[in-house]
Amino acid sequence: MAIPLQPIELPDEVPVGPIIGPEENLTTVTDKLAGIVLRRKTGYGWLMGFGLAFCGTMMLLMAMTYLFLKGTGIWGINMPVAWGFAIVNFVWWIGIGHAGTLISAILLLLNQSWRNAINRYAEAMTLFAVACAGLFPIMHMGRAWLAYWLLPYPNTMQLWPQFRSPLDWDVFAVSTYATISLVFWYVGLIPDAASLRDQAEHRWQQVVYGIMALGWRGSARHWQRYEKASLLLAGLATPLVLSVHTVVSFDFAVAIIPGWHTTIFPPYFVAGAVYSGFAMVLTLMIPVRKFYHLESLVTMRHINNMAKVMLTTGLIVGYGYMMEAFFSWYSTNTYEGFMYWNRMTGPYAPYFWCLIFCNIITPQFLWIKRVRTNLIILWIVSIIVNIGMWLERFVIVITSLHRDFLPSSWGMYYPTAWDWAIYIGTLGLFMTLIYLFMRAIPMITIHELRVLVPGGVRSPQPVQPQPVKNI
């Protein structure tokens, strides 16, 4: 006698909640997001946050002015640690800027609709992070007023940059990345600028947003060209996600310094960039979501998906750490083995074990669904990951330099107050730009969310059966 088969109940792995709240419609989405920019009054919380961030920006300008007057001797760099906070912070900021391009380009090509609520914010974060990163190589040159020498500009002496230098590769990679990201961000802004133009009550707002809208009227031809341009830019930006931080990793990988000369750096750096980028998106988006009451637009499904991406890239980063230890042992190279042993037991060992805790142990809690959906715990985890990724860059740069091939040239690196002032100042500059962005531009893409609303723009409409007439 045949035994009837019972259906097997699989664990609930469906993403938490819908992409957009069921109470939202075309009108509420537009009014809520446009109202933040056009009609919402500037609150005391925004003013206090902006004031604190602006003070950090002023500290950055003061520290840079003193740096240009006195030179890089005010930093803690020395021999053999000729690279210090400037390169550490450069790599960290470039990594933070990777989440925006990943969310905008790759997820667009993969037709992932959950990106629609976070892509604008992540793209803006990318631009501001790249702007902060671009300051450090210029400052590290020592003569910042000669930064244009890095570019192959026409000159009578026919002096060209050293194209075999990875530092010059950074100039082209980062400038290309910033240009494509800016164009991609602005193209996605055009339909929303037209919405703000049409809803603005003041004449100056109508003029400003009208100029930004470039004559957008929402015709079928406009939408066709917009979608084609978005796909082309996504296709251009997708290789940049892999190439930019790969080129940045070449700053280290092409050197013969123990701890840098390894082939795992390119994929390891790319995964770490996406890891820190998504952590920064969560760090900023969770408070903004609560403060502006955007729970029905940035739902728990978005938070859950971003936590999963952060967990995945964190596992890749952890694999990179294990391979570094394996290579130092398997290569039987005396200097490589000493370098890694010095990281674990030397004077900078507390920083190494702290980054292991932040980047490997802490993200393992994201396997638990309750952790991924608990906003307070997830926010704390994202902050810890950002701290850990900064420590990772610090350990890679400093511990590989302070004890090199000759014990007679060993030394220690101690960042000065000016190192910290410039680093904290870039955090202030970054947050200042974020605050201005939230007040001037819809932080969530209006037209892409309207597509997700049932019966929204360009969404399939149910076909009503027509009665058949007798002829």
Tell which residue, 257, 235, 261, 258, has the closest CA to residue 249: 261
Question: According to the per-residue pLDDT averaged within each range, which of 246-250, 350-354, 443-447 is highest?
Answer: 350-354
How high is the pLDDT of residue 456?
55
At 465 the pLDDT is 39
Q: Give the lowest-confidence range in 12-26, 33-47, 184-198, 365-379.
A: 12-26
The model's confidence at residue 359, banded by pLDDT at 50, 70 and 90, is: very high
pLDDT tens for residues 59-79? 999 999 999 999 888 998 888
pLDDT digits (tens, 9 = 90+) for 321-344: 999 889 888 988 888 889 899 999
Mean pLDDT, to the nearest integer, of 23-51?
82
pLDDT above 90 coverage of the chain, percent = 28
Q: Identify which of 170, 137, 183 has the alpha carbon closest to the alpha carbon of residue 243.
A: 170
pLDDT for the residue 420: 94
Helix (H, G, I), strand (E, B) or coil at 277: helix
Mean pLDDT computed over every residue of the chain: 84
pLDDT band for 10, please (50, 70, 90 cuts).
Answer: very low
- In the DSSP assignment, the letter for residue 416 is -
List pLDDT tens digits, range 94-125: 988 887 787 888 888 887 778 888 888 888 99
pLDDT digits (tens, 9 = 90+) for 155-176: 887 888 888 888 888 888 888 8
Phi, psi torsion values for 232, nearest 5 degrees: -65, -45
pLDDT at 21 over 90: no
Angle at 277 between CA 376 and CA 193, to 5 degrees: 95
Torsion on CA atoms 30, 121, 296, 304, rounded to nearest 10: 150
Does the pLDDT of residue 459 top 60, yes or no?
A: no
Range 220-243 average pLDDT: 87
Band of pLDDT at residue 455, cut at 50, 70 and 90: low
**φ, ψ for residue 100 (rounded to 5)?**
-60, -45
- SS3 per residue for 432-444: HHHHHHHHHCCCC
Q: Is 49 a residue whose pLDDT tops 50?
A: yes
Q: Which of 236-240, 309-313, 343-347 has the lowest mean pLDDT?
A: 236-240
At 114 the pLDDT is: 82
Listed range (112-116, 190-194, 195-199) with the worst mean pLDDT? 112-116
- What is residue 143's predicted lDDT score, i.e. its pLDDT? 82
Q: Output the pLDDT for position 56.
A: 93
Give yes or no for residue 364 having a pLDDT over 50. Answer: yes
pLDDT in tens, 244-255: 888 888 888 888
Lowest mean pLDDT among 194-203, 309-318, 339-348, 428-437: 194-203
Pairwise CA distance, residues 224 & 318, whole Å: 43
> Is residue 257 scored above 50 in pLDDT?
yes
**Per-residue DSSP letters for 289-354?**
HHHTT-TTTS-HHHHHHHHHHHHHHHHHHHHHHHHHHHHHHHT--HHHHHHHHHHHHSTTHHHHHH
Residue among 307, 297, 301, 299 at smallest CA distance from 445: 297
| pTM attached to this predicted model | 0.87
Question: Mean per-residue pLDDT for 298-304?
Answer: 86
* 260-271 per-position pLDDT tens digit: 888 888 888 888
Report, as an integer, the average pLDDT of 238-243: 84
What pLDDT score was predicted for residue 6? 47
pLDDT band per the 50, 70, 90 thresholds, residue 405:
confident
pLDDT band at 1 (very low <50, low <70, confident <90, very high): very low
Residue % of the chain over a pLDDT of 70: 92
Q: What is the pLDDT of residue 397?
A: 92
